[in-house]
A and B are shown apart, each in its own frame.
Chain A
């Protein structure tokens, strides 16, 4: 056991996990987090708190994570390398650990060009891979510069990372995951799967290299509300792939929202039945968090298992 978070315990117990995502508000309104926490508690095992996602200023993921921790809910705080250098990242990681946060998901971060402060200076002193390595070093008792952490137990982290089977070059995508696992990643959340065939091919390569045995892979899923939205993502969002099949299914649907939910439910069933090496699902219901309980229920994943 690396950190003993709810997520880690369930994964190590062999449970098929379900995680969700809560976007911190563009304000200091703590109620947004407590409200989401109350609504979603017990419907998923842990919740991502995004770190200024798409480079839009929001409440810090660590602060939001602390609010959830106080509610007895397991947070997964995201940390990107866009806004902080190795000094800031390590400092914040130590702070998160001091506040009782255990799961940290390391990301390179979206470029600020599409955010709400496109004139900002960016950092990228480190990248996702070296951030993982740095957190792994911290939990082994060393700072990035090799200095020892003294007078205190090292922080405990359950380290997560992202993997994007839909980006290019395809063959490199598994190598990249392998690098992240080598660096110390314990669990993985994939980019949302809207092209199951490609995900399956990627998983095949993952299994060939035995990576599913070296880390926990959770499949990223996203309920879509509108057919237009699906087409937009298909054409315009870098690093995403949306199959025509999915677009058409939504276009034909009478009740698109219901179809979007059913689609995710079908995906969960399909993955559990057919794809070996997937340890759980990560549901990214962006601005539609309230749908998570329905999805979990319909996919037969309720009630969520308890561990002590």
Chain B
């Protein structure tokens, strides 16, 4: 899922300066699961804003709302009223959701309340780690199910580089070397010999490098008759 983390409250307060009535908008998707932007966090952020502004002698009215998913724009219908009422929105969905608000309510000011970080997994209580960068051309079949793009600090296709030592990456003793992990996995499944082959430069045109991406599934369009 998409992992996000709350922006420092000072940053949120700064963007809200001068606004009199704001709406904090959560999402029940990924950010609820990673405890950054669900209904509960909406409540917490809303009271933080109220309290801080109260103390600063500039009280503000804060409305609260949470939708099923901010990346499916039809759900905004549920919170249309509070959005229309507010003069600024703080979306605590991922960056997709923030843009969903902006696209759906073009005349409204919207601020991001989270920093959207990565696509990752929940490894432990309070620990998430990146696993995929959405390169659009998955190579996990050759790398034993460990992603070289997301888990090697240099996204190398022919690692491990000379900085790999004791299983750690050259950038930090706290970062596993992605290619050591690939090596270990390929050893376990009896395919370590495949590392003998040179993997050609990756085609990055399916990644962000190719420009903003869009997926159109005609099969689905035909099915729905739209």
A interface residue numbers (CB < 8 A to B): 81-82, 86, 108-111, 113-114, 122, 124-130, 133-134, 144, 162-164, 166-169, 172, 175-176, 178-179, 182-183, 191, 238-239
Please state if A167 and B165 are interface contacts (CB–CB under 8 Å).
yes
Please state if B198 and A111 are interface contacts (CB–CB under 8 Å).
no
Does B156 sit within 8 A of A, measured CB to CB?
Answer: yes
Please state if A239 and B156 are interface contacts (CB–CB under 8 Å).
no
Which residue from B161, B199, B204 sits with its C-beta under 8 Å from A128? B161
Please state if B201 and A172 are interface contacts (CB–CB under 8 Å).
no
Q: Which chain B residue has the least Cβ–Cβ distance from A162?
A: B162
Please state if B165 and A238 are interface contacts (CB–CB under 8 Å).
yes
When distances are taken between beta carbons in the complex, the residues of chain B under 8 Å from A166 are 165
Knowing A111-B153, A130-B198, A179-B196 touch, does A168 contact B158 (C-beta < 8 A)? no
Knowing A110-B170, A111-B171 touch, does A127 contact B157 (C-beta < 8 A)? yes
Bound-complex Cα distance A182 to B200 (A): 13
Q: Which chain B residue has the least Cβ–Cβ distance from A169?
A: B183
Knowing A126-B201, A127-B156, A168-B180 touch, does A175 contact B195 (C-beta < 8 A)? yes
When distances are taken between beta carbons in the complex, the residues of chain B under 8 Å from A125 are 201-202, 204
Q: Which chain A residue has the least Cβ–Cβ distance from B159?
A: A127
Between-chain CB contacts (< 8 Å), 10 pairs: A111-B153, A122-B154, A130-B158, A134-B201, A162-B162, A166-B165, A167-B165, A168-B180, A239-B163, A239-B165
Q: Which chain A residue has the least Cβ–Cβ distance from B192?
A: A172
Which residue from A163, A168, A182 sits with its C-beta under 8 Å from B160? A168
Please state if B170 and A239 are interface contacts (CB–CB under 8 Å).
yes
Does B221 sit within 8 A of A, measured CB to CB?
Answer: no
Distance from A68 Cβ to chain B, minimum over Cβ atoms (Å): 26
Please state if A167 and B158 are interface contacts (CB–CB under 8 Å).
no
When distances are taken between beta carbons in the complex, the residues of chain A under 8 Å from B155 are 124
When distances are taken between beta carbons in the complex, the residues of chain A under 8 Å from B159 are 127
Which residue from A86, A183, A191 sits with its C-beta under 8 Å from B162? A191
B interface residue numbers (CB < 8 A to A): 153-172, 177, 180, 183, 195-196, 198-202, 204
Return the 4 tightest CB-CB contacts between A and B, nearest first: A164-B162, A238-B170, A129-B158, A124-B154
Q: Which chain B residue has the least Cβ–Cβ distance from A114?
A: B171
Please state if A168 and B167 are interface contacts (CB–CB under 8 Å).
yes
Please state if A238 and B168 are interface contacts (CB–CB under 8 Å).
yes
When distances are taken between beta carbons in the complex, the residues of chain A under 8 Å from B177 are 168
Bound-complex Cα distance A168 to B166 (A): 7
Please state if A86 and B165 are interface contacts (CB–CB under 8 Å).
no
Q: Which chain A residue has the least Cβ–Cβ distance from B168?
A: A238
Bound-complex Cα distance A172 to B156 (A): 15
Q: Which chain A residue has the least Cβ–Cβ distance from B161?
A: A108
Bound-complex Cα distance A127 to B155 (A): 9
Please state if A239 and B201 are interface contacts (CB–CB under 8 Å).
no
Please state if B170 and A172 are interface contacts (CB–CB under 8 Å).
no
When distances are taken between beta carbons in the complex, the residues of chain B under 8 Å from A169 are 160, 164, 180, 183
Please state if A86 and B201 are interface contacts (CB–CB under 8 Å).
yes
Distance from A174 Cβ to chain B, minimum over Cβ atoms (Å): 11
Given A163-B162, A169-B164, A169-B180, 12 more contacts at CB 8 Å? Answer: A110-B163, A113-B172, A124-B155, A127-B156, A130-B198, A167-B160, A168-B160, A168-B164, A238-B168, A239-B164, A239-B165, A239-B170
Which residue from A86, A127, A167, A183 sits with its C-beta under 8 Å from B164? A167
When distances are taken between beta carbons in the complex, the residues of chain A under 8 Å from B171 are 111, 113-114
Knowing A111-B171, A125-B204 touch, does A178 contact B163 (C-beta < 8 A)? no
Distance from A101 Cβ to chain B, minimum over Cβ atoms (Å): 23
Among A126, A163, A172, A182, residue most surrounded by chain B Cβ atoms (within 10 Å): A172
When distances are taken between beta carbons in the complex, the residues of chain B under 8 Å from A164 are 162
Distance from B98 Cβ to chain A, minimum over Cβ atoms (Å): 22
When distances are taken between beta carbons in the complex, the residues of chain B under 8 Å from A127 are 154, 156-159, 161
Among B156, B168, B183, B204, residue most surrounded by chain A Cβ atoms (within 10 Å): B156
Bound-complex Cα distance A202 to B24 (A): 61
Distance from B175 Cβ to chain A, minimum over Cβ atoms (Å): 10
Distance from B115 Cβ to chain A, minimum over Cβ atoms (Å): 16
Please state if A124 and B160 are interface contacts (CB–CB under 8 Å).
no
Bound-complex Cα distance A183 to B198 (A): 8
Bound-complex Cα distance A183 to B200 (A): 10
When distances are taken between beta carbons in the complex, the residues of chain B under 8 Å from A183 are 198
When distances are taken between beta carbons in the complex, the residues of chain B under 8 Å from A239 are 162-165, 170
Bound-complex Cα distance A162 to B161 (A): 10
Knowing A168-B165, A169-B180, A175-B195 touch, does A108 contact B201 (C-beta < 8 A)? no
Q: Which chain A residue has the least Cβ–Cβ distance from B167?
A: A168
Distance from A238 Cβ to chain B, minimum over Cβ atoms (Å): 4
Bound-complex Cα distance A211 to B111 (A): 59
Distance from B201 Cβ to chain A, minimum over Cβ atoms (Å): 5
Which residue from A110, A113, A114, A129 sits with its C-beta under 8 Å from B198? A129
Bound-complex Cα distance A178 to B166 (A): 22
Bound-complex Cα distance A127 to B154 (A): 9
